[in-house]
Chain A
C-alpha cells in the first residue's frame, strides 16, 4: 500500500500538467481510463480472487450506466441519487444472476453469465423510450453539489480518481479480511472449504454481488463521462474487454485491473492516433483494426507473463531485492 503513494502523486499531478500543456483532451481520456480501471478491478475480485470466470460483467457495468443515464434523462440529476441507485440496481441484478449461475461450474458458468449479459443487451436494445439501439444522449453530467461542477473535466477526473482510490483500498481491506480469505480459499480448493464447515455458495454469491455493485457504479460514471450511453456498453465485447484488462494487468493482483485498463486503452489510443508510416504503406487502414495489435500484446502476455504486467513488475522487484 505504501508503494501506491508515488502512483497517487502522479495521478494527482497528471491533469495539472495536461492543463499547463493545454491538452485537456488527455484529462478526459484519463478519466475514461480510470473508470475502466474501477470496472476491471471489480471484475478482478470475482475473476482473480474468487476464481469465478464471469463472462458477463458488462451486464452490471451496462445496467449501472443505464440506471444513471435514465435518472439524468428523467431530471434526477443528483449524483448522490444516481450513483447509489446504479450501484444498488446492479447489486440486485448480480444477486439474481449470481444465484442462478453459481449453481453451475466451469464452462457452464462462463456460458450462463454470458447468456444473462446478452439478455440484458437485447432488453436494453428494445427499450425504445430510452433510445433503443441508438442509445441515449444526456443533456448534462450528473451533479455533485458543493460547488463541484462535474462538467469540468478537471473536477470530474479528481472525483473518479477518488472513487478508484476508495475501490482499491476497499479491495485491499476485503482480501485481507475473514471474508476475503474464504473467497480466495474457495478459488484454491472449493471442496475443502465446504469440508471445514463453510457454505461456499453464499460466499461466492456475496463476492459476485459486491463486484456487480462496483461494476454498476463504474457504469454510471462511464455514462456521465460521455454524456451518452448505448446498448454496446452491455455487449459481450465489453465483458471481453474487461476480461482482457484483468488478464493483461494481473489476475488476482490488487493493481491488475488498473494496470490492465491503462495498458489496454493507451495501446488502443497509440495505435489508432499515431500512424507508423511503413505499416500504413503496407496496410493502409490498419489503424481501424487496433485490436489486432492488442491481440498480439495479449498473446505475448499470456505466453510469457501469465501473471500479467503486475506479475512481471513484481518479479523484477523481487529480482532486484
Chain B
C-alpha cells in the first residue's frame, strides 16, 4: 500500500533520513521505532507531505505521491497525527471534528450558507467523538481538554479524513497508563478499517499492536520484521532495545 524507495532528507550537514526504503502492506499495523533523534518524525513529515524529500520516491496505493502537496496526499487517503498536539484550540471538540469532516465532504468554497445548518457534518462529527471517547465533551473548547483528551482529538482529526493509511506520530506521548490503554483500545478498533504506520516509544503498545516493526537508527533502517524477530535481533537489542526487553 505504501512503498518508500531510497528516501533522503538532509538538514545542512545532518542527514536525517538516509536512504530509507520501506513497505507497509494493506491492513497491517506497522510500527516505526528507534532512539530519540533517529529521524522518525522527519520520516513521517516526508511521507505526509509537510516536508519535501531531497530524493527518493513515495508510492501510495499505486500512485507516485513524491511531488504531491500535503493536502493532496490527505485527499489520496494519507492522514497523520502529530507528536506535538495540533488541534484547533479555540474551537469546540465538535467544531474541530466537523471541520475535518467538511474538508473531506464537498467543496468548502461556499460563502453564504451557514455551516450550522448542515446536520450531516455534525452527525458524523458526533459519531467520531463517540469513537474517540469524547462524546460527553463535544461542546468543550479543545484548548480546555485534559492532555489525554487532546491526544484523542488529535487522532480523531486524522480519522475524520477517512484515511486508508494513518500515520501516527507518538499518539500516546505524555499519557498516563490508563489513558494509554484507552488509545491502544481505540487503535485496535481503527485497525479494522485502516492501515497504520505507528511511531511510538511505548514498547508495550508497540508489541501489542504491531504486525511488523521497522527500527530506525541515525536515519537508516536497521531492521524490519515481525515483533519476535525484532525482539531477537542482536543489533537492535544493542542499538536500542537494550535491557528493557532482556528482562
**Which positions in A face B, CB cutoff 8 Å?**
173-174, 176-182, 185, 188-189, 191-200, 203, 206
Contact = CB atoms under 8 A, between A and B. Distances in A.
B91 A195 contact: no
A179 B71 contact: no
B88 A199 contact: no
Given A192-B88, A195-B82, A196-B79, 11 more contacts: A177-B112, A178-B108, A178-B115, A180-B115, A181-B102, A182-B108, A189-B88, A194-B70, A196-B103, A197-B74, A198-B103
B55 interface: no
Interface string B91-117: 100010001101110111111111110
The 4 closest A-B pairs by CB, nearest first: A197-B74, A176-B114, A178-B110, A196-B103
Contact of B50 (A173, A181, A188, A194): A194
Contacts of B114: 173, 176-177
Tell me the dominant secondary structure on chain A's binding face. Answer: helix
B75 interface: yes
24 contacts: A174-B111, A177-B115, A178-B102, A178-B110, A178-B115, A178-B118, A179-B111, A181-B95, A181-B99, A181-B115, A182-B102, A185-B88, A188-B90, A192-B82, A192-B157, A194-B69, A196-B74, A196-B99, A197-B71, A197-B74, A197-B79, A197-B104, A197-B161, A199-B71
Interface in B54-105: 69-71, 74-75, 79-80, 82, 86-91, 95, 99-100, 102-104
B48 interface: yes
B168 interface: no
B108 A198 contact: yes
A188 B141 CA distance: 13
Contacts of A196: 74, 79, 99-100, 103-104, 157, 160-161
A299 to B, nearest CB: 26
Contacts of A206: 109
Contacts of A197: 71, 74-75, 79, 103-104, 161
A199 B71 CA distance: 6
B166 to A, nearest CB: 12
B88 A177 contact: no
Interface size class of B (residues with CB under 8 A): 35 or more
Interface centre among A174, A189, A203 (most CB of B within 10 A): A189
A274 B107 CA distance: 54
A194 B100 CA distance: 10
A173 B110 CA distance: 10
A195 B109 contact: no
A182 B112 contact: no
A72 B36 CA distance: 68
A203 B69 CA distance: 15
Nearest to A188: B88
Contact of B115 (A176, A189, A199, A203): A176
A177 B71 contact: no
Contact of A194 (B71, B87, B89, B106): B71
Given A178-B113, A179-B108, A179-B111, A191 B102 contact: no
Interface string B144-170: 000000000000011011000000000
A179 B118 CA distance: 13
A203 B90 contact: no
A37 B242 CA distance: 67
Nearest to B90: A188
A177 B50 contact: no
A177 B113 contact: yes
B103 A179 contact: no
Contacts of A195: 48, 50, 70-71, 74, 79-80, 82, 86, 157-158
A196 B99 CA distance: 8
B170 to A, nearest CB: 16
B86 A191 contact: yes
A64 to B, nearest CB: 21
Nearest to B73: A197
Contacts of B95: 181
B89 A188 contact: yes
Contacts of A178: 102, 106-110, 113, 115, 118
A177 B103 contact: no
Contacts of B91: 185, 188
A193 B102 CA distance: 11
Contact of B111 (A173, A185, A189, A198): A173
Contacts of A177: 110-115
Contacts of B88: 185, 188-189, 192
* Most chain B Cβ neighbours within 10 Å, of A174, A185, A206: A185
